[in-house]
Each structure stands twice: as C-alpha cells, then as structure tokens.
Structure 1
C-alpha cells in the first residue's frame, strides 16, 4: 500500500469517527430513546414477573433460555427510536446541505450514522439481557443452558433491529418526513403480523415464504433432549429475523434439535359448536441449525441490499437528497473543490471526465464564484473561514478585472476551477 492510499484510508477513518461521534451523542440526547428504553424495560418486566403475579412460582430451570431475547415489538420499537430523524430529520432541519457540502463521501456519512445506531442498540440490549438474566435467576431458581453465547446475544439482537432501521432509513429518505417514516415502519410490522396470521390459515404451506421477509416468520416447537436424555417440551420458536438472538442461544444447547411447524387450515363449514375452526392439515420440520443459518443470512442480505447501498444505480438519486438532486454529481464535485480549495484524490477520475464548459456554465449560473455570495454561504453552512479567504483572494482579481476580454475571463475562471495542472 503506497503512501497516498494510507493517507486516504486514515482520512476516511477520521471522517467515519467524526460522523459516529456526532450521531452517537445526538442519540444520547434524544429523550425519545430514553422513553423507548423504559418502555422496553417495562415490557421485559411483564414477561419476567407475569408468571409470579399469576401465582405460577414453580422453579423453572429453563425459563431464561425459553424466554430470553427481545420480542418482535421491542426490536421494532428500539429501531424506530434510534433511527428517528436520522436522515429525514436532516432534511426537515435543513442540516443536510452543510453535511453534503463537506468533503466526506456519502457512504462514510451513512455508515457513520449506522454504526452509532448499532452501538446505542448494543448498549440497550446488553442492559436488557443483564436485567432479564438476573430477574430470571432470582425468581425461578438456578438456570440451565447459560453459556458464553450470552455475550453474543446483544450483538444479534442489535442486528435484528438494524433490519428495521434499514427500512426506516429508506422510508425517511423517500418521504423526507420523520413521522411518516416512523408510522411506515410500525405499519409494516403490524401489517405483516396480521398478514402472516391470515396467510398461514388460508394457504397451508405458504407460511414458509414469511421466513424471507423481516419480522417473526413462522412459529413452531423445538423437539430435542437436554443433558441426560431429558426431553424438552413447550419450547416455542419463531424463525424470522426478529428472533436471531434467542434462536442462537437455543441452538447452542440443542445442536441436533428439530423445529416442528404445524400447518393449519381455516374450516368454517364443518365446525362443531364450541369447536376449533383451525384444522391441522400437516406439518414440516427443519433442523434448528438450518433455521439459525437461514435467519442470519436473510438479515445480512437485507442489510447488504438496503444499508450498504448494494442497490440499483437508479436509486442513487434517492440517497442524494433534495440539495444534491438539483446538482449533477460531476458539478457537485467541481463545486466542492472550488469552495474548499482542495482536491480529493478519489474525485480525480470524475474531474477527468468532466466537461469544462459544463462546469463553467453551472458555476456562472449559480453565482458560486461571487466572493460575497460565498461569504454569506459561510455563515449559512459553517465552512471554515480560511478556505473562503483563500478563495476570495483568488477570485477577487477575476471579478474586478473588467478590462480584459470575455475569453480571458473564462480562461482565468477555468484556472480557478481546475487549477494549473489540468
């Protein structure tokens, strides 16, 4: 790796850390995140204390591994709280313009925000897991099946939330409205929950398709033995992306387990009085290892396609935002170099392809070479003053020199834009 590549890599890491720090501190200051966290503690407490409240205080050595991990609603709730106003809020507050004007690639901005959200979720889920383990141990006695995989559970739970965060970010970018993005994610979650219940009873066998969508997926039971041929009963499991953390814990204890999913059909014609309208019509089974592996792959695929921007090229305009939609990418690159008086090595290829007259017309039409306009822009977007002072000194001669021909003025302007090494 040459020196230029090393400098570029160090610069990108510095930029990523700056975006991460900004987003992380901003999330910590949001009261909504604290409120959602307290709600999550309340929901976890309900599952922890409800058996005791109902009088079922019998010692259960498998309580934690059967009930460990956040519910689907908690996963979505925390995802919405953390992703709230991350992208759409930048548009609403008008801060997307100064952010886009910085010499920082969009992928660094995007990944920096995403990393900050992930760390916040990691902290929240770690606290929830410690709280649930301590409560389960005190209320239901000594627990079995707890191992080093517990340290991975917050990471897997945060990954489950990232799937919903990616959906929230896409909706926020499309609508540029925080409220619509939040309602959209919650609407998708409840809509899919209702739809999955309808699909599984009206089209037996079609429920397996739910495993390829974000959410809970199919529901089934684990058939396994624990320790000295002790059969395990009443271990329910969901196969969707929301349950990656508890599924991994179950797999660490039951590597040879099978997941049994029963198929039902809604039968209203031959229903007996007081009978059950759901008739069992079949079942299918998969190894627990397959369920865990497929769930992880589905989550990583969603993140790759949505979060890591492995998308169709026509979606490029969506992520540019309102301000960048009004400027072609090539013109934006040239403008950034003019304003900051520095050239990013990664833009060299773009500059080579750029038509000089196209850039010249763009800059002239938008009055970006007017020193007074740039000073106003400095106050507006907070760019460092010394760059504008340098630009003022270089452009002042051109702007005040009206005695030379138009061709000479254009030549001087080209020198300002492209430098002497073009």
Structure 2
C-alpha cells in the first residue's frame, strides 16, 4: 500500500529533465534584489499553468500562487527570487556571465551563489506535483516567491504591500534553504535556528592635518583602530558566556594619502545574536564604546550611526517543527536529522510573524557525499565552497529531488487527509 506522498512523487521522474533544465536556465540568468522581473514572470507563468491563482508585483516583484482544494488547513511555502553581486568561478557550462548595474549604479557580476535558483526549481516542481494529484490532499496550498531576501527587505515589503489582504492567512508557514551538509539530507532545528543580524555604518570625525604635525590634528584613523580593538570586548565581556554572538568589523575606510591625516573614518560592522535581550545589550555596548573612544580622542563632532540592514531571529515553532521532523523521518529515514543553530540570517520570519502564525524553516544539504566525507576525514570541511562563495554549485541530484520531496512532505504534514 502506498502513501499519499508516494502517489504524489510518483510523477517526479517525468518532471525531472524539465526541472533540471529550468534550474540551469535560472542559474544562467540571475537577477539582483529588486530587479527580479524576468525571474518573477517565469515562476508566475509556471504556477498559472498548474491552475494556481497568481498575483504578481507584491512588494515590487513578489509572486504568490494559491491552489484551493476543498476544506482543510492553509499552508504557505516560501522561496526566494534574487541572486548575489558576485562573479561566478565554477566553470560550469551554464555558469552565469550576467553583469548589470546595481542600486548604486555600479557595474557588477551576478551569480545565484546561495541556492535560490534551486529553491525555485524545487518549489515550481512541487506545485506541479501537488496540482496533478489533488486527490491525495485537502486544504489550500500557497506558494510565495519573495524578492530581495539577500538585502533583508523583501519579506517586509510584501507584508507592507498588503500581502495578507491578497492571499488567505495560512495556518502555518514553511521554508527551506540549502546549507552545508551532504546532498540528499534534510535537517530541522526547533527554537532559535538562524541568528538576528544587524549591519551598521559608523562615521567618526577627527580634524585633518599634515602627517608631520599630528599635534595640530585629531587622527580618526587611530580613533577607528581603537574602536575596532575595543569592540572585540562586546562578545567576551558584555554577552553572557552561554549566549552565542558575533561582532565583525568588515570594512574600515579613511584617508587618501600616507602623509595626510583625514577628517573622518567610516567603519561598517555586522553583529549576530539569538535573543532580543542579547541584541540590545550588544547595540548599547557598540554605541557606548564608539562614543567613549570619540570622547577620549577629542573628536570635534559626535559619531553618526546608520543601519545598513537588519534581519530578525528565525525562531522555529517547536510544535510545527516537530510535525515536519516526523514527516521527514517517515519519508527520508536516516537521511533526516537535526541541525545546530546557524549564524546565517534570514528575513522569512517577518511573513509568518505578521500573520501571527507558527513556522518551520529547515535545511537541505548541498555537498556531494564523497567530497564531504573526504573533507571531513581530512579535516578540511572549511575549505569546501559554501553559500555566497563564487565557487558555489551544488550537484543537481540528489539535491533537486530532495528539495522537492521535502516541500511535498512538509506540506502534507498538514494537508494530507486523516
């Protein structure tokens, strides 16, 4: 006797060649955040072809597809549309050679180096499979394709554009992402899974002058250097030892010549945390340290703080995650497991949080099994390409099939008739 998921997935092999071609084409034609016009049109066309009620242009380029199939729960599944400003180095025959102008007018290369192309190929194939076997499930299926995930803006922009006046409010929201691990595996994590992230631009001011007469100047380079050093104490002395937190100063710019003391310096930092309390303590400490160092250096002007982007904590609902984990165990067996907290960040949670519904976000492995096991044995796992690497290129299979099956299994955890 076969189960509902077996009946639905029986049609996968017929769709597999087309899915792989669609993935390759998406990979070869990536679009930056807020520029996903062609990508959005393509996924919308596929959903319409499967009988979904489709809306486009939500929050800019966002797409939703709704398939009502009798009474029952409403399940929302989300994936992303956008790519990254990177030059691909994989050498694949379908590698991206796209270059465009970014929001600042700079010419940049574009690469699907985070797996969003695979997410879309999995989601559209899942939609086709579910639409073809409506006899195996009851309820309402919502597919949501979100723009601008990489910049942390797209989820909120869809919400602000009246998302839940355009689609039914779901009973649960689900999402998945390629993360380091063996291709073909799936993993869940109840509770805080992905960290909150804040990126901040800080401008500190000095008084410019000649490098030979520093006594007449206030040196913002030395000031910035002291701030960088002192910020290392935020995690070691402000955050409780049992908490996980990260502070990284990724950019520091000041001056143009070796013998000229500049008038200001600009630092850009990123911080990661898992709770609102820890996040606020870190923010307070950063402001306090910067202001104190400016005072100590005799800075002639108060520092300026600008938020570049912010991502919330992805905090998986325990009951919803348990339900998904049970479905994965039943379908994937030993290939399903748990994953520890990740310090990467996501804006997905803004969608279910706006609707006040539970959610589960899970991981799909993306590294060839033999390559992963060899690197693990050699202690070189850190050398393998990961998300946001220009060498990022997961194996088509079993990755595409696993991602498709995980979406079907997750949806059926609510939509399968009991």
* Band of TM-score, shorter chain: under 0.3
- Larger strand proportion, structure 1 or 2? 2
Greater helix content? 1
TM-score by length of structure 1 reads: 0.21
Kindly name which structure, 1 or 2, has the bigger radius of gyration based on alpha carbons.
1
| TM-score, normalising length: structure 2 | 0.21
Highest relative contact order (Cα 8 Å, sep 6+), 1 or 2? 2
